[in-house]
A = this chain, B = another copy of it.
């Protein structure tokens, strides 16, 4: 056998080039030639690693999802089950007011960090959100991409629900009425998704989005007394 190159590494390089383009021009305006140019390789080489465009798109989506998952996990020191996103993005920023602790930070802190991490607050996470939006638009008409979301989102919701249950047990949750953790988790995810949308559209600033998220969290965790 000849040269033997690292296939996965090559595919990753190409996926990152795709990411760079999708963040600025969107996903549907992306041609194979453009991706090849951005990755600084020939079209022939790109086609050697991805026989079809859809194959490339799907690989790139899974790649950014796994990156997002890893980043969240690392940031939290793997406290419980693992989150994952089906089509949105996370990023790197945000404060961690209680980093040194025995059993890790409180559920509220973890939750807030995850959710804030999903908002487009800096350039990096903004590009991530743009790519996520591009994938969403495509997924709506693509059964295979839909399936990715149908797997990832419930997983993320379960993760959040577990955090909420933890807070509930500690009595940190506003519980005038008993609220359903999974429902609240999906509400949180939907909320962040919508906040991301309107931030990307320029309807609100990232700071406003974060403040609104905090307002919701504040109500959710309102001193139960």
A100 at the interface (CB under 8 A from B): no
Chain A, interface SS category: helix
Q: Decide if B177 touches A222 in the complex (CB within 8 Å).
A: yes
Given the known inter-chain contacts A141-B26, A222-B176, please indicate yes or no for A186 contacting B201, CB distance below 8 A: no
Interface size range of chain A in the complex:
35 or more
Name the CB-closest residue of B to A211: B183
Q: Decide if A191 touches B189 in the complex (CB within 8 Å).
A: no
11 pairs, A vs B, C-beta closer than 8 Å: A26-B28, A26-B138, A26-B140, A140-B200, A146-B202, A149-B198, A150-B201, A153-B203, A190-B197, A194-B194, A194-B197
8 closest pairs, A vs B, by CB? A190-B194, A137-B137, A193-B194, A28-B28, A194-B194, A149-B201, A153-B203, A190-B195
